[in-house]
Amino acid sequence: MSLDAICLQAVIAELRPQLMGLRIEKVHQPARDQVVLVLRGNRRLLLNAGAQAPRLQLTELAWDNPAQPPMFCMLLCKHLVGAKVADITQPPLERVVRLELDATDEFGRPGRRTLVLEAMGRRSNLILIDGEGRIIDCLRRVDADLSADRQVLPGLFYEMPASTGRLPVTEETEEGFFQKLDGTSPERCIDAFLLDHYFGLSPLFAREVAFRATRETDSRLLQLDEGGRQRLWQALKAFIQSVDQGRFTPFCLVRDGKMQEFCCLPVTQYGNAMELVQFPNFSQMLDRFYELREQQERVRQRGADLTRAATTARDRVRRKLAFQEKEYAATQDRDLMRMQGDLITANLYRMEKGQAALSCENFYEADCPTVTIPLDPLLTPQQNAAKYYKRYTKAKTAERYLKEQMDLARRDLSYLESVLEELRRAETEQDFLDIRRELRETGFLHGKGKKEISRPAQPRTFYTTGGFRVLVGRNNQQNDKLTKGAGHQDLWFHTQKIHGSHVVLFTQGLTPGEEDLRQAAMLAAYFSQARESANVPVDYTPVRNVKKPAGARPGMVIYNTCRTLYVTPEESAVKAMVKK
């Protein structure tokens, strides 16, 4: 769900005392719709203007920045680096945040800059305004072709988005409520009635008010008697009082271990179908809620063409392998062809040209049963025998050739499956650049494409409770480098017969404990296709036992001596191994 106006109010109330007076030290733009302001004390303020998840929050997630900063990021750096946070405000029940900043220009003169986040779904935007209220620039420029009512362009004075005309829910009175109730069709659902008449009320809270009044979320106005009308008003009044008094608590609705929705007030409408989980603060809750979703969105946006290319190549290899296996199965009948040639040769004296079939005794079997061999009537008996011998020789040669080709096809199929798994786990722009380069070098992606600025990507780094460093490869080529660069006494981990990252535990001549081994095995299971599984088999062995066959695809290795641990991947345990 998106951050509604009331949740946004709760987030701002939490952030204001933490951010007031802090200076902006850096500005990053890790994605097209995301800007991160790095404040003094290494506090990172995320402003997301994406259509799916517009929001404002402090974040502890590691955001990867592009090698070349976007133009809007460089503009923000010019105007905001060194500026001090003067205030954070929100127009009443609007999904708009104004970050007021005291800044100085290039001549050292003091001034004011305002960074406005409009968190309004697909119309979300991030706008920089000068001290006079003029727009310096914005993330999305809106001209007259896009909106005849409101343009957002550099040089224009900033104007608030147009009002919906509905009454802010916090301004409602008892008299006004019952007047609206009397003037509405009794067939209307209660939550729809609330959304029709009040501004700032989200669908989740509208259903919650209806549920608290009637114990149902889809009840209609006609079901309300006088007592029901009073209960509905009392439920809405209690909601308004909670908002006015700022009694906000970060809650998340969890079903089957997955976060479904978040809210700033208790929600009871789901009963036992969802668990209401409280978080220490809103920023931590939003990090947890959006982390996986945004990673999947980055994969979808940045890796769509790579996923399509790898999937197409994998499907082509699958079809090729299926055809080869069919042909290979046909070669297994070649001894029958040789036998038929022998029988024709042994019965040449009985045959004449023009025969369509030969019936003779099969002396290869004990009882010499009669068999019928199809013939080509246009060929002589000798030519028919030669034809069967030729088919036998051809099948014998094809068997050897097809076996080699099937081994190559299975190798390519396994490699492409590993690339698709890498794409599902990719997190940063550099991850996608590395995989793109890898596919080009292996011949599965053609064309040079546009010039890309690339930076060396580092493996994921973790530390066990015993203090041992563990590195996890991000892609096949990095897997090769990681394994090749490890010492002979270091331990190599990989999921058994499951695609995943290479994991190396660096021992530094010491002997890791059982818990260290288990944690490294958990990392191997977590960064594999078995992330959602339980009791995942993970093989581990000293690096000296891991070999790369000549001509093998990137990331493909063999080993013949190992031990196996069975672990269940846990996200919380993996995060606990990240050194802060």
Work out the burial of residue 451: count CB atoms within 10 Å of its CB; fewer than 13 is exposed, 13-18 middle, 19 or more buried: exposed
Spatial neighbors of 154 by CB under 8 A, at least 6 apart, are 135, 136, 137, 138, 141
* 177 and 293 together in one domain: yes
User: What was the pLDDT predicted at 402?
Assistant: 85
Q: Is the pTM of this model over 0.95?
A: no
In this structure, is residue 362 part of a structural domain? yes
DSSP secondary structure letters along 37-80: EEETTTEEEEEE--SS--EEEE--S-PPPPSS--HHHHHHHHHH
In this structure, is residue 441 part of a structural domain? no
In this structure, is residue 426 part of a structural domain? no
Dmax (CA) for the chain in angstroms is: 115
Residue type, position 100, single letter: E
Tell me whether strands 43-48 and 55-58 are parallel, antiparallel or unpaired.
antiparallel
Say how many Å lie between the first and final Cα of the chain, rounded: 30
Residue 505 CA, chain-centre distance (Å), reads 27
**pLDDT by residue (tens digit) across 261-314?**
999 999 999 988 999 999 999 999 999 898 877 766 766 667 788 888 889 999
**Worst-scoring range by mean pLDDT, 55-69, 80-94, 222-236?**
55-69
| 560: confidence class by pLDDT, cuts 50, 70, 90 | confident
* 129 and 19 together in one domain: yes
* 86 and 211 together in one domain: no
**Worst-scoring range by mean pLDDT, 10-14, 236-240, 297-301?**
297-301
Question: How high does pLDDT run on average in the chain?
Answer: 89
Residue 545 CA, chain-centre distance (Å), reads 34
Strand partners, 255: 258
Question: Any idea which residue has 């011998």 for tokens?
Answer: 389
- Contact present, 496 and 538 (Cβ < 8 Å): yes
* 23 and 107 together in one domain: yes
**pLDDT by residue (tens digit) across 215-224?**
998 899 999 9
Backbone angles phi, psi at 57, to 5 degrees: -170, 160
**Worst-scoring range by mean pLDDT, 65-69, 234-238, 271-275, 367-371?**
65-69
* 380 and 484 together in one domain: no
- Mean pLDDT over 388-413 rounds to 86
User: What was the pLDDT predicted at 72?
Assistant: 94
In this structure, is residue 147 part of a structural domain? no
- Mean pLDDT over 90-104 rounds to 93
- Mean pLDDT over 550-579 rounds to 90
* 113 and 56 together in one domain: yes
CA-to-CA separations, 437 to 68, 149, 253, 347, 409, in angstroms, rounded: 18, 46, 41, 64, 21
Helix (H) or strand (E) segment spanning residue 253:
strand 251-255
Give the pair of three-digit tokens for residue 327.
């042909």
Work out the burial of residue 145: count CB atoms within 10 Å of its CB; fewer than 13 is exposed, 13-18 middle, 19 or more buried: exposed
* 223 and 318 together in one domain: no
Quote the DSSP letter at residue 560. Answer: S
**pLDDT by residue (tens digit) across 367-396?**
888 899 999 998 998 998 899 888 888 888
* 274 and 323 together in one domain: no
- Contact present, 485 and 502 (Cβ < 8 Å): no
Taking alpha carbons only, the member of 500, 449, 444, 448 closest to residue 476 is: 500
- Mean pLDDT over 328-341 rounds to 81
User: What was the pLDDT predicted at 456?
Assistant: 64
In this structure, is residue 434 part of a structural domain? no
- Contact present, 188 and 220 (Cβ < 8 Å): yes
User: What was the pLDDT predicted at 449?
Assistant: 57
* 325 and 271 together in one domain: no
Tell me whether strands 357-361 and 275-278 are parallel, antiparallel or unpaired.
unpaired
Helix (H) or strand (E) segment spanning residue 495:
strand 491-495
Q: Report the number of distinct structural domains present in the chain.
A: 4
376 vs 383: CA distance, rounded Å: 9
Overall residue count recorded for the chain in this entry: 580
> Domain containing 403: what range?
309-421
| 423: confidence class by pLDDT, cuts 50, 70, 90 | confident
Backbone angles phi, psi at 449, to 5 degrees: 70, -175
CA-to-CA separations, 161 to 91, 125, 128, in angstroms, rounded: 11, 11, 15
Q: 465-468, long-range: CB within 8 Å, 24+ apart, which pairs?
A: 465/515, 465/516, 465/519, 466/512, 466/513, 466/515, 466/516, 468/505, 468/506, 468/507, 468/508, 468/510, 468/512, 468/516, 468/520
In this structure, is residue 145 part of a structural domain? no
Domain boundary pick from 421, 446, 469: 421
Domain boundary pick from 298, 329, 360: 298
Quote the DSSP letter at residue 198. Answer: E
In this structure, is residue 442 part of a structural domain? no
SS3 37: strand
Helix (H) or strand (E) segment spanning residue 197:
helix 190-197
**pLDDT by residue (tens digit) across 151-203?**
999 999 999 988 888 899 999 999 999 999 999 999 999 999 999 999 888 99
* 347 and 415 together in one domain: yes
pLDDT of 455 above 80: no
- Contact present, 553 and 530 (Cβ < 8 Å): no
pLDDT of 484 above 60: yes
470 vs 566: CA distance, rounded Å: 18
92 vs 80: CA distance, rounded Å: 26
CATH number (domain holding residue 22)? 2.30.310.10
- How many percent of the chain have pLDDT more than 90? 55
**Sign (positive or negative) of CA dihedral 70, 71, 72, 75:** positive
* 284 and 376 together in one domain: no
CA-to-CA separations, 430 to 194, 216, 305, 446, 457, in angstroms, rounded: 47, 49, 15, 19, 6
pLDDT of 448 above 70: no
CATH number (domain holding residue 262)? 1.10.8.50
Taking alpha carbons only, the member of 81, 380, 57 closest to residue 250 is: 57
Helix, strand and coil percent figures for the chain, each rounded to 5: 40, 20, 35
555 vs 486: CA distance, rounded Å: 15
Backbone angles phi, psi at 30, to 5 degrees: -70, -25
In this structure, is residue 152 part of a structural domain? no
Phi/psi region, residue 396 (left: phi>0; alpha: psi -120 to 50; beta: rest), is alpha
User: What was the pLDDT predicted at 64?
Assistant: 72
Helix (H) or strand (E) segment spanning residue 564:
strand 563-567
- Contact present, 136 and 129 (Cβ < 8 Å): yes
Domain boundary pick from 231, 266, 298: 298
- Contact present, 107 and 48 (Cβ < 8 Å): no
Spatial neighbors of 151 by CB under 8 A, at least 6 apart, are 142, 143, 144
- Mean pLDDT over 225-235 rounds to 93
User: What was the pLDDT predicted at 433?
Assistant: 81
Backbone angles phi, psi at 221, to 5 degrees: -60, -35
**pLDDT by residue (tens digit) across 497-546?**
899 999 999 998 899 999 999 999 999 999 999 998 999 999 999 999 99
| 2: confidence class by pLDDT, cuts 50, 70, 90 | low
- Contact present, 113 and 135 (Cβ < 8 Å): no
68 vs 426: CA distance, rounded Å: 19
* 226 and 347 together in one domain: no
- Contact present, 168 and 240 (Cβ < 8 Å): no
